[in-house]
Chains A and B, each alone.
Chain A
Amino acid sequence: MRHLLSTRSLSRDDAIALLDVAEDMAAVQEREVKKLPTLRGKTVVNLFFEDSTRTRISFEAAAKRLSADVINFSAKGSSVSKGESLKDTAQTLQAMGADGVVIRHPASGAPQTLAMSGWIDAGVVNAGDGTHEHPTQALLDAFTMRRRLHGAASRGRDLGGVRVVIVGDILHSRVARSNVWLLATLGAEVTLVAPPTLVPVDVSGWPASIGYDLDAALATMPDVVMMLRIQAERMQGAFFPNSREYARTWGLDDARFAQLPTTTMVMHPGPMNRGLEIAARAADSPQSTVREQVANGVSVRMAALYLLLSGEREVAR
């Protein structure tokens, strides 16, 4: 693997191989000494054009546990408003000898532009681009599902037959997109539930079914319910009347949660709006995987960095 830009382009075998390496990394996390020497001497830059403390520290922890040197480069604000272009930033990192760049950017496609531009030789990991993709989030979600379902026997397995309901702002969610592609690749059945205003106009080509009725989707007793964060700025965009109506219609409240089988996993990529898309009882229940997702995030990102940066780098295209 040279770059990790999307889950759309990830094959089933590559995805399972990455999840299996993540299992190895997770095993290391249970040791007293959590650090591997694998990436000693390599430099990983966390290039964040958007604030995301959670994702950044997860990547930072992953790189450090592989003994890489980590540089955090916060370049908040668009390249235009900041006055420095993505190209100049990339060439700066190139001159500093970055081996890997983890990029978070508000513009969809920016990681691909960085990877394909020729400005930089480093491997590029997409840590979330605009409303496009967030591949490591989807990988850690899949990893979490697989572990819950198969425990120690997870290695080599896909998610065949697992029924996943993803609820919320599909239109603006890079997490939803990455999950739809990856879960379908791994054999899961995906249902998206959202207000019609928060579904892209044409999703006929997506490997998922679409619904507007959360109660109907939950009545199928899915294996996983994934609640997406509602961003504050959506309140002003006339996507729905107000947060109360949203919570009442598309929130995982106590009544809805109570009707789910106790085996149904409740997932959330965080940070949660408690009381809006998810009630506290669901978020804090044993069915909630929220904290596992955070822990597994480090393992999955270790696996991604390991696969991209260990050994000989593939020659660019």
Chain B
Amino acid sequence: MSERFLITGAQLPSGERTDLLLDGGVIAEVGSIADAAGATVVDAAGLIALPGLVDLHTHLREPGYEQSETVLTGTQAAAAGGFTAVFAMANTSPVADTAGVVEQELSLGRAAGYATVQPIGAVTVGLKGEQLAELGAMAQSRARVRVFSDDGFCVFDPLLMRRALEYVKAFDGVIAQHAQEPRLTQGAQMNEGALSGELGLAGWPAVAEESIIARDVLLAEHVGSRLHVCHVSTAGSVEVVRWAKARGIDVTAEVTPHHLLLTEELVASYDPRFKVNPPLRRAEDVEALRAALADGTIDIVATDHAPHPIEAKECEWDAAANGMVGLESALSVVHAAMVDTGLIGWADVARVLSETPARIGRLAGHGAPIAVGAPAELTLYDPSASAEFDLARLAGRSVNSPYLGRTLPGRVVATFHQGYATLLDGAVRPADEVARHAAERLEVLRG
């Protein structure tokens, strides 16, 4: 297949209609393009063109948990969801706490070719919260790690958190904190409130998140460091982040698609598909998170794509794993929760799902506005389609989606990474084709 694409009649986030020529890994032309010999024509009438989406929070599970996901299948899910870059969380086995592991992930991502895989490094050795991992070695490795996170666990020790925040300043890194006070959430199963009391499930109180965020923004202020807060889930957390930003503290925050759409009421079914950490919260929290994303208090949407095998969810609630797959559904969920509600427009979607996550993660080559010379990282989205979200929409190895059976708006039609297609006509391109294109791009880049 050709590596030149002529995309006709696409609507840019600004609302403007244009043709786009992808050639040589960049957007070669924008405007009314009459002639593009040899290019594959993609009719994008009625479709929105977004800069390729960037997910700052993805669990790819490889190495170690390949029964749930691999770098290949996870990035196929990314392509299906319109993502061209994913930040791979460190809770693999072995943990991504050394240069060797992050370089391995980088290589796996490059070989698969569906998206840029940017490894995240662990903050502490083995995610144990006891001693700093080799942050500098990971930063200086081929993987050029800039985001560090013990996600799944909170960096609870305040002194260790302080040191981590300080240390990564040397290479413009950021600590992405999983804000969860461990003592207040021992055995926690769902949001603590009226419903947890009724269902007899151990509560995960909002204060356990809010108190850590409050501590961390104060630490970041004290040492003059950059902090990123993962999966903010409560109205109180929004208030803390808003306060910190007003004070000039260098903090960014993310919200997951599921916390923008789903509420704890779903837990009453005891259906483990709805079990996630942090847990689904109240409708008031959802409202506050939406408002915060709209007004910029929350900077980005990140999926927390967390694949699990079937048996980890086909069981009683307490025994089930936390997590939901989210790459394939993210754009439709943001569309439903934020665009259809009139809170944000498509330019904001480009900002919260591409531009800002790339900037927070210091990822070059992604998140740039669609313009001549920009990298050919592009997503075409059909906002008019509305359909029941079904298994056919899932492209990763796991099927633990909370949206199965639910009607969602929109559909990702095509995704272009480094100028070649990873998704066309709503279908993920074959692995061998994508790998071949990726190898060719690597050759070109190496000269």
Q: Do A and B bind each other?
A: yes
Give the number of chain B interface residues (Cβ < 8 Å).
22
- Whether A87 and B270, one on each chain, are in contact in the complex, defined by CB atoms closer than 8 angstroms, is no
Is A79 in contact with B200, judged by CB distance below 8 angstroms?
A: no
In the complex, the answer to whether A130 meets B197 with C-beta atoms within 8 Å is no
Number of A-B contacts (CB under 8 A): 84
Q: Is A108 an interface residue (CB 8 A)?
A: yes
**Interface pair B199/A132, CB less than 8 Å apart:** yes
**In the complex, what residue of chain B is closest to A170 when comparing beta carbons?**
B197
Residue of B194, B317, B319 near A202 (CB, 8 A) is B194
A118-162 CB contacts (< 8 Å) to partner B: 129-133
User: Measured between alpha carbons, how far is A206 from B199 in the docked complex, in Å?
Assistant: 12
The answer, yes or no, to whether A196 is at the interface (CB within 8 Å) is: no
Contact check, A203 vs B319: say whether CB atoms are below 8 A apart. no
Contact of A86 among B198, B199, B205, B315 (CB under 8 A): B315
A112 within 8 A of B: yes
- 1/0 contact trace for B310-349 toward A, CB 8 Å? 0100111111000000000000000000000000000000
Q: How far is the CB of A112 from chain B (nearest CB, A)?
A: 5
| A177 contacts B318, C-beta separation under 8 Å | no
Q: Name the residue on A nearest B319 (C-beta).
A: A80
A203 and B197 contact, Cβ closer than 8 Å, known pairs A107-B319, A109-B270: yes
| Binary A-proximity of B167-200 (CB < 8 A = 1, otherwise 0) | 0000000000000000000000100111011111
Residues of A near B192 (CB, < 8 A) are 201
Residue among B189, B198, B314, B317 making CB contact with A85, cutoff 8 Å: B314
Q: Would A200 and B316 be within 8 Å (CB), given that A85-B311, A109-B270, A112-B270 are in contact?
A: no
| In-complex Cβ contact of A108 among B205, B311, B315, B318 (8 A) | B318
Q: Does B279 contact A (CB under 8 A)?
A: no
State how many angstroms separate the Cβ of B237 from the closest Cβ of chain A: 18
Is A113 positioned at the interface, with any CB of B under 8 Å from its CB?
yes
B203 adjacent to A130 (CB under 8 Å): no
- Residues of A contacting B202 in the complex (Cβ-Cβ under 8 angstroms): 131
- Per the CB 8 Å criterion, the residue count for chain A at the interface is 32
CA distance A27 to B225 in the complex (A): 76
User: Which residue of chain A has the shortest Cβ distance to B194 in the bound complex?
Assistant: A202
- Knowing A78-B319, A79-B319, A112-B270 are in contact, say whether A201-B314 is a contact too (CB < 8 A): no
A206, B319: Cα distance in complex, Å: 28
**Is residue A204 contacting chain B, with contact meaning CB distance below 8 A?**
yes
CA distance A8 to B318 in the complex (A): 21
Whether a CB of chain A sits under 8 angstroms from the CB of B262 is no
Instruction: Please tell me if the beta carbons of A129 and B194 are within 8 angstroms of each other in the complex.
Output: no
Q: Is the CB of A205 within 8 A of B200?
A: no
Give B205's nearest chain A residue, CB to CB.
Answer: A201
Least Cβ distance of A232 to chain B in Å? Answer: 17
Q: Which residue of chain B lies nearest to A201 when distances are taken between CB atoms in the complex? A: B192
Does A106 touch B at the CB level, under 8 Å?
Answer: yes
How far in angstroms is the closest Cβ of chain A from B214? 20
- B201 at the A interface (CB under 8 A): yes
A contact residues around B311 at 8 Å (CB): 85, 87
B200 with A132: CB separation less than 8 A = yes
Beta-carbon contact of B200 and A131 below 8 Å:
yes
A107 contact set on B, CB distance < 8 A: 316-319
Task: Find the B residue at minimum CB distance from A79.
Answer: B319
In Å, the complex CA distance between A106 and B192 comes to: 19
Q: Given A201-B192, A205-B194, do A86 and B316 touch, yes or no (CB 8 Å)? A: yes
Please, how many angstroms separate the alpha-carbon atoms of A248 and B318 in the complex? Answer: 35
User: Nearest Cβ in chain B — how far from A114, in angstroms?
Assistant: 8
Asked if B315 and A87 make an inter-chain contact with CB atoms under 8 angstroms apart, the answer reads yes
Is there a chain B Cβ closer than 8 Å to A110's Cβ?
yes
Q: Which A residues between 192 and 232 are near B, CB-CB below 8 angstroms?
A: 200-206
Listed residue (B311, B314, B319) with the most chain A CB atoms within 10 angstroms of its CB: B319
Once A132-B200, A133-B200 are accepted as A-B contacts, the answer to whether A108 and B317 lie under 8 Å apart by CB is yes
Residues of B within 8 A of A206 (CB): 197-198
Q: In the assembly, what is the distance between CA of A204 and CA of B194, in Å?
A: 7
Chain B residues, Cβ within 8 Å of A268: none
* Contact assessment for B197 and A201 in the assembled complex, using a CB-CB cutoff below 8 Å: yes
Contacts of B194 in A (CB 8 A): 200, 202-205
Closest 8 CB pairs of A and B: A200-B197, A132-B200, A109-B270, A107-B318, A131-B200, A108-B200, A110-B316, A202-B194
Given A200-B194, A201-B203, A205-B194, list of 15 further CB < 8 A pairs? Answer: A79-B316, A85-B314, A106-B318, A107-B318, A108-B317, A109-B316, A110-B270, A112-B270, A113-B270, A117-B314, A171-B197, A177-B198, A201-B196, A201-B205, A206-B197
Q: Can you list 10 residue pairs at the A/B interface with Cβ under 8 Å?
A: A8-B198, A78-B319, A86-B315, A86-B316, A86-B319, A105-B316, A110-B316, A110-B318, A177-B200, A200-B203
Chain B residues close to A by CB (< 8 Å):
189, 192-194, 196-203, 205, 269-270, 311, 314-319
Interface residues of A (CB under 8 A from B): 8, 78-80, 85-87, 105-110, 112-113, 116-117, 129-133, 171, 174, 177, 200-206
